[in-house]
């Protein structure tokens, strides 16, 4: 599935590095080494998203086709030891201090609790969180907390059972709600909720979803739908925009923007609700891109580094690792992989092309 022909992830890296040096951002490879995962536009990635599997037990319409996808074969997947080794290199040698495990559905990965425990044992200890659809979380929440997991983000787009089935093609709303409650009970808090609104399906449900989250003490964030579905069904003309969501919620909840400076590199714009301490967030990846502040890098379940969700090239750490590369060499390859990160995702450019790998195989 990797788009690149080799570990470099395509041509043009040396010229980009040279350009960065000529601009004065880096003067030598050694300086890049010191700052960790720096790209040629001055951004430094410190937040690593690790996909643990491309498989999933839901079929959200904005993510996957009904029949699922051609899953990665087991030998292609990183083993638990390989994941922990690469995460360890990122944390101890490359300045990464936040790890988010995702997928596909990460709760489907048998070794998840062990991977979390070994990650939270790293020095310096990174913040460790999980993005999940919540199915099975009721069973695993306590073990994950004991393994050191700090937080969870649970994806929930509606609280209406029939709409849940329409959106995810599975009748599992009760499991998701039980998972959220168990996570909160276990102290994996604050439980954050990710919601995507789809026109004509759940776009009018935003207020009741927010009311539900406020009642339960969950932090809701709406994510604009992005062109990352395997079916290529995204349509700029019909996507529900951040402005629309804010307008719909504004009248009922009296939203006020919170301190923009406090947002830092976080993608969500946060609004206080009814003048109180509770908040709602909007991640406007399409209509208000935040690429200039991006501090993320991704590792796929088959060991490819992606410098952006929308990258069209990848860098293959798995092959290098399985060919016997030591930690220093893997760290060096990872640093160099960042040099081709583009300034923005380009969704709004006429020349935009969707990446070959869909969201479920990248790790959102």
**Which residues does the annotation place in the binding site for [4Fe-4S] cluster?**
56, 60, 63, 291, 294, 308
Q: Rounded CA gap, 50 and 86, in Å?
A: 10
What is the bridge-based pairing of β-strands 269-272 and 279-283?
antiparallel
251-310: contacts with ligand SAM (CB under 6 A): none
Q: Report in angstroms how near the CB of residue 63 gets to ligand SAM at its nearest.
A: 4
Q: Is 300 in the site for ligand SF4 (CB under 6 A)?
A: no
Q: Which does 300 bind (CB under 5 to 8 A by kind): ligand SF4, ligand SAM, none?
A: none
Binding mask 121-160 for ligand SF4 (x = CB under 6 A): ------------x---------------------x-----
Query: Annotated binding site for S-adenosyl-L-methionine: which residue ranges?
Result: 62, 104, 155, 226
Q: Which of 16, 40, 102, 315 binds ligand SAM (CB under 6 A)?
A: 102
Q: Which is nearer to ligand SF4, 57 or 189 (CB)?
A: 57
Q: Is 225 in the site for ligand SF4 (CB under 6 A)?
A: no
Q: Is 59 in the site for ligand SF4 (CB under 6 A)?
A: yes
Q: Which is nearer to ligand SAM, 40 or 133 (CB)?
A: 133
Q: How many residues bind ligand SF4 (CB under 6 A)?
A: 12
Q: Is 53 in the site for ligand SAM (CB under 6 A)?
A: no
Q: Is 56 in the site for ligand SF4 (CB under 6 A)?
A: yes
The encoded tokens of residue 186 equal: 């276990």
Q: Which does 102 bind (CB under 5 to 8 A by kind): ligand SAM, ligand SF4, none?
A: ligand SAM
Q: Which does 140 bind (CB under 5 to 8 A by kind): ligand SAM, ligand SF4, none?
A: none
Q: Rounded CA gap, 247 and 240, in Å?
A: 11
Q: Which of 228, 291, 305, 309 binds ligand SAM (CB under 6 A)?
A: 228
Q: Which does 64 bind (CB under 5 to 8 A by kind): ligand SF4, ligand SAM, none?
A: ligand SF4
Q: Report in angstroms how near the CB of residue 364 gets to ligand SF4 at its nearest.
A: 7
Q: Is 202 in the site for ligand SAM (CB under 6 A)?
A: no
Contact positions toward ligand SF4, by CB under 6 A?
56, 58-60, 63-64, 103-105, 133, 155, 360
């Amino acid at each position: 599935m990797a788009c690149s022909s080799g570990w470099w992830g395509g041509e043009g890296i040396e010229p980009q590095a040279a350009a960065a040096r000529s601009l004065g951002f880096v003067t030598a490879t050694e300086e890049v080494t010191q700052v960790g995962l720096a790209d040629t536009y001055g951004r430094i990635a410190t937040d690593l998203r690790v996909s643990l599997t491309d498989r999933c037990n839901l079929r959200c319409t904005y993510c996957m086709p009904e029949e699922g996808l051609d899953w990665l074969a087991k030998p292609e997947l990183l083993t638990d030891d390989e994941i922990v080794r690469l995460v360890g290199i990122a944390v101890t040698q490359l300045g990464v201090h936040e790890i988010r495990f995702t997928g596909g559905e990460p709760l489907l990965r048998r070794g998840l609790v062990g991977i979390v425990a070994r990650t939270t044992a790293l020095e310096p200890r990174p913040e460790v969180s999980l993005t999940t659809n919540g199915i099975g979380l009721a069973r695993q929440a306590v073990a994950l907390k004991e393994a050191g997991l700090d937080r969870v983000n649970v994806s929930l787009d509606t609280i209406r059972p029939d709409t849940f089935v329409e959106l995810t093609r599975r009748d599992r709303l009760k499991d998701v709600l039980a998972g959220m409650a168990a996570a909160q009970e276990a102290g994996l808090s604050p439980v954050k909720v990710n919601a995507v609104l789809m026109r004509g399906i759940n776009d009018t449900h935003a207020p009741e979803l927010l009311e539900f989250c406020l009642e339960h003490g969950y932090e809701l964030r709406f994510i604009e739908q992005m062109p990352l579905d395997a079916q290529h069904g995204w349509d700029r003309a019909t996507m529900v925009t951040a402005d629309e969501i804010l307008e719909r919620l504004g009248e009922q909840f009296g939203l006020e923007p919170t301190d923009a400076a406090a947002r830092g590199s976080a993608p969500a714009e946060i609004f206080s609700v009814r003048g109180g301490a509770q908040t709602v967030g909007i991640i406007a990846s399409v209509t208000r891109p935040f690429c200039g502040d991006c501090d993320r890098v991704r590792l796929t379940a088959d060991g490819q580094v992606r410098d952006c969700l929308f990258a069209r090239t990848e860098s293959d750490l798995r092959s290098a690792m399985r060919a016997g590369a030591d930690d220093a060499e893997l760290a060096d390859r990872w640093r160099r992989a960042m040099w081709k990160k583009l300034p923005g995702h380009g969704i709004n450019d006429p020349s935009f092309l969707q990446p070959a790998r869909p969201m479920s195989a990248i790790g959102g």
